[in-house]
Structure 1
């Protein structure tokens, strides 16, 4: 493959990742290529097992059958791994994002010990990959997600408050533990989740060129999509909205300061406030183990009509709406998406959040809601991490197979 063809192949791959399936004429037109230039590149990508003709169905059920091109779902996989304080999540996907196998493990090691937690996480990913590899698929790459300040260029965790990590060379650690099995990339959970959200919205025919995804897991980070692309900021550290100070002299935050948004609308704060206000009696000393278990308990109590929990969730929703309004005022996205566990708590927090959000905006959009709940679950950062591994191939960061 010549350098010129290589550039064309990567551009075509990127177009199909973002907008497939497409016909050959549509694919060529999107890239400004003639039919004569399009066909050799398509044929080469098909030979490599990256692109396939997936359908001969007619568009809209009328007219002659139309051959559509999309990513080949049979030959390759991409992997995603999320490292959290209470669990690690590992999943393997096809190139079109179909989940093949996922593995969840509770964290029983000391989270402050990066090496021990890393071994635990990579073992979960190896286990999932080994089962999928039996089908003969080839792994293109793996994305690794962590909540906190991540320097994706150097592969370093600058600061992860929930884990107590500072300046941890995680990319090098994962690469070593992974044994060179495939290229590895690292980013924070919000950036990866935003990529997954963007792809899902495109598939659903919804606008996706400008959005902010707020995580609802270990803290409040923002994944920012603008001009169709992920925006990381000057140093790659953009999006830590959970540590905006919204309440001077407010509650102590895990970051060492006071009054951060995380202390009111972060998931740990919501769980603590909700369970603390619960009218249902709890057995002494019995507390949920981890964020996911805490959310399970909150949902169960709220569904049972526990007034204390419902009131606490409504208050958390108002704080979340204020924070989302700050995001919208600074970045002016088409919409702000509440992801992760926020989606599970949406029946109680969404309307209070929207009410405060609308009131705080200088110029709200009258024709659509600018604050929405994600249709993805808490695995969105893992899905986005795997997607990022595929995008890295299309962008030339990793080699074409």
Structure 2
């Protein structure tokens, strides 16, 4: 059985598919994987012995489109990844896509006549009467004042997808001999998407709109030791607070300076994750340490709290570690995860505004509260780790 996994996005899109690839290989499948050619992702796949089939330009060079016209051009660029994905899919029995790979990948599967599945790590874009669509995900999106019915809001959301992405998507489909699609959002999600998210952190209630396959999160185990200099820093004092934005950029203003000032004000040391935002130390004091790419599964078990952007992977890793979180969302699905952390009482959600030392100090006080710590520790025991194994079996059943 040959499987193609195709994704275009940040590490939060790539790493779950690497774990799915591991599980598929364990079931005897031959796996190929398309992803952006970022060096981080090449190294990530190399850890499990898989080559990366490069698609598109490095994700680290991408910025969020600022207008509808720019969004349309971006969709045309994503759809143009069709040729590379089609070459990789030759001879495959099934194709699964995630992130922004759907614009090309579903058309490839359709052209080749093979089964197709789409996976998402967050339910925030899945239509349901139980929640409203994200209010400001698409450029220029604004819902009419006074409209509060979730079904009506999701209808408006679908219209926005069509108006912003339909022309570029259908122009490409016609260029490769495929019929136009009437509903872009439905084309993206399919009628049976995989939800690769933990049931506690991202609950899903069954609806008539979608037959969602809620597998649990796809978590790639990491057994790498922590670097010796980081190990020495951790052992030299009380547990520090980790501050990082992962593979995202700062959109709400500087995070490192106010975070370090807030952590220091509460008597803690700091580990700063450089990440794609290139966070750095603010002085040469010995109570702070900066790290690059590191085993967060190990690190988070040794810190007092995690201040982060609210990516699906980072939120899940912190929850598994049983450590309180402060989420400072920068965009996309991150406000969803911030709200879930706050609703579960396992941390605090910072507003999607520029953080200050005062605002982060208040959030950290919530995180350090003994009740928050107790809830975070209790939640850790419930996080599932079998999501990718479940998904691998279902995907091979789909192929068969």
TM normalised by structure 1 equals 0.28
